[in-house]
């Protein structure tokens, strides 16, 4: 598989409307939903597929009554936010159909049932790529154009604060590649990891629908540690990671992407997502299990995050090397006023703490903003 290395990040996502990972009404994502470029599926349709033992159909074959109308979907999204709009990240299990035997769907329907109980929703809207996007090779020129427009907003769907993401990370025993061995799941994981808000991202490695869930709040609270956060990468590092995954796929006689054209398209979409990440005012990667290597990856991106005001990295495994990386990038973060590093090994190293305090003071940052305990 040929993977193209992007020459430089895109300065701004293209297209009409305002691409946003925080606003709903008036955003480009909302406009694409209104116009039908992106269809949101009703959970009742997914449940019907399970009851009838039929796989999810492609966008053009899903009955219109099982899709939210664009105007109604946007209205409900504005009213209920993350409680209403769910986007699913999952590994495709065949080239022609992402889930031919309903391996993922059985889990998803069970999770969505508890999700509706959690928020008291009778129905929610689901973005599931196969059922939500027109096929890339549709006979209709309009459908092909709408697919291209929707593809341009993929980063927003997974990074949006008001969209809940569900990552289905399990695969059947016969499947040679895991969730972590794919191209789009890497992209989606990075976008999900950098989103703002809380209770809006869940990772599911398995779900037994025969087990009775008494309290959906306790159920979802127990899933929180399963969300694996992936640091944002520079375009160069992202391309290198895709190359590494491609080699693994080839060794297993597989392709990195179900559609080879995605090997090129994914880079532009990643640059669009990185544009959003670098313009956030707050980033939080607490209790992510990160060490110095992940901090180095993050710092390569932070060089362009001039708007960042708060960075939360507590509860990780950051040591002296990570401290050096943060000190190197600190002068470039002119807006940074809060750096939270509590509960890291560096906090027990007097030398590392002193280096941080001195650099923080020399860069004229508020003393209370550096948190080491």
pLDDT for 251-290, tens place per residue? 999 989 989 999 999 999 999 999 999 999 999 999 999 9
In the three-class reduction of DSSP (H, G, I as helix; E, B as strand; rest coil), residue 25 is classed as coil
Average pLDDT over residues 117-128: 97
pLDDT at 2 over 80: no
pLDDT, residue 12, reads 44
Rounded to two decimals, the pTM is 0.92
Q: Tens digits of per-residue pLDDT, 184-212? A: 999 999 999 999 999 999 999 877 766 77
DSSP H helices in the chain: 28-35, 43-51, 70-80, 103-119, 129-132, 141-151, 154-159, 184-193, 216-223, 235-251, 262-277, 292-302, 320-329, 350-362
Torsion of CA 181, 185, 191, 194, to 10 degrees: -50
The whole-angstrom separation of Cα 180 and Cα 360 is 37
pLDDT, residue 16, reads 57
Q: Tens digits of per-residue pLDDT, 153-177? A: 999 999 999 999 999 999 999 999 9
Geometric angle at alpha carbon 165, from 164 and 169, rounded to 5° = 155
pLDDT, residue 172, reads 95
pLDDT at 53 over 60: yes
Greater confidence (121 vs 225) lies with 121
Instruction: Render 68-102 in DSSP notation, one character per residue.
Output: --HHHHHHHHHHHGGGTEEEEE---SSSS-S-TT-
The whole-angstrom separation of Cα 313 and Cα 305 is 16
Instruction: Render 37-52 in DSSP notation, one character per residue.
Output: SS--EEHHHHHHHHHT
Q: Which of 333, 373, 328 is nearest to 349 (CA)?
A: 373
The two tokens of residue 131 are 């059922």
Distances (CA, A) of 325 to 72, 220, 318, 356: 47, 35, 10, 11
pLDDT at 128 over 90: yes
pLDDT at 1 over 60: no
The whole-angstrom separation of Cα 46 and Cα 228 is 26
For 79, counting Cβ atoms within 10 Å of its Cβ (0-12 exposed, 13-18 middle, 19+ buried), the class is exposed
pLDDT, residue 279, reads 95
For 128, counting Cβ atoms within 10 Å of its Cβ (0-12 exposed, 13-18 middle, 19+ buried), the class is buried
The two tokens of residue 354 are 């002193």
Phi, psi of 204 (to 5 degrees): -115, 120
pLDDT at 15 over 70: no
Average pLDDT over residues 89-113: 95
- Quote the mean pLDDT of the chain: 92
pLDDT, residue 211, reads 72
Q: Which of 272, 9, 271, 257 is nearest to 136 (CA)?
A: 257
Phi, psi of 101 (to 5 degrees): -110, 15
Helix axes 103-119, 43-51, angle to 10 degrees: 140
The whole-angstrom separation of Cα 70 and Cα 30 is 8
Q: Tens digits of per-residue pLDDT, 279-330? A: 999 999 999 999 999 999 999 999 999 999 999 999 999 999 999 999 999 9
pLDDT, residue 18, reads 86
Contact indicator for 365, 333 with CB cutoff of 8 Å:
no
């Amino acid at each position: 598989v040929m993977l193209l290395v992007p020459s430089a990040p895109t300065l701004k996502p293209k297209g009409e409307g305002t691409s946003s990972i925080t606003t709903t009404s008036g955003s480009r994502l909302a406009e694409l939903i209104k116009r039908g470029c992106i269809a949101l599926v009703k959970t009742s349709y997914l449940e019907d597929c399970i009851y009838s033992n039929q796989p999810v159909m492609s966008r053009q074959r899903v009955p219109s009554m099982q899709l939210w109308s664009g105007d109604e979907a946007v209205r409900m999204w504005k009213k209920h936010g993350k409680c209403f709009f769910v986007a699913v990240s999952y590994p495709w299990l065949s080239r022609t159909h992402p889930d031919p035997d309903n391996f993922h769907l059985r889990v998803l329907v069970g999770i969505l049932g508890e999700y509706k109980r959690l928020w008291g929703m009778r129905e929610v809207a689901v973005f599931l790529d196969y059922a939500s996007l027109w096929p890339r090779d549709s006979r209709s020129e309009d459908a092909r154009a709408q697919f291209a427009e929707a593809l341009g907003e993929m980063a927003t769907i997974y990074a949006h604060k008001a969209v809940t993401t569900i990552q289905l990370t399990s695969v059947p025993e016969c499947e040679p590649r895991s969730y972590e061995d794919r191209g789009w799941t890497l992209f989606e994981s990075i976008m999900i990891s950098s989103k703002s808000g809380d209770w809006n991202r869940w990772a599911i490695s398995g779900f037994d629908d025969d087990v009775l869930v008494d309290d959906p709040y306790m159920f979802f609270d127990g899933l929180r540690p399963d969300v694996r956060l992936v640091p944002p990468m520079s375009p160069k590092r992202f391309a290198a990671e895709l190359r590494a995954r491609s080699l693994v796929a080839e060794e297993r006689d597989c392709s990195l992407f179900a559609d080879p054209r995605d090997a090129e398209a994914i880079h532009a979409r990643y640059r669009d997502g990185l544009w959003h990440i670098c313009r956030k005012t707050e980033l939080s990667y607490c209790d992510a299990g990160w060490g110095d290597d992940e901090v180095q990856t993050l710092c390569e991106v932070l060089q362009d995050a001039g708007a960042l005001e708060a960075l939360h990295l507590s509860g990780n495994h950051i040591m002296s090397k990570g401290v050096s990386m943060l000190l190197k990038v600190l002068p470039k973060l002119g807006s940074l006023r809060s750096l939270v590093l509590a509960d890291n090994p560096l906090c027990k190293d007097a030398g590392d703490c002193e280096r941080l305090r001195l650099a923080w003071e020399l860069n004229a940052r508020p003393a209370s903003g550096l948190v080491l305990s």
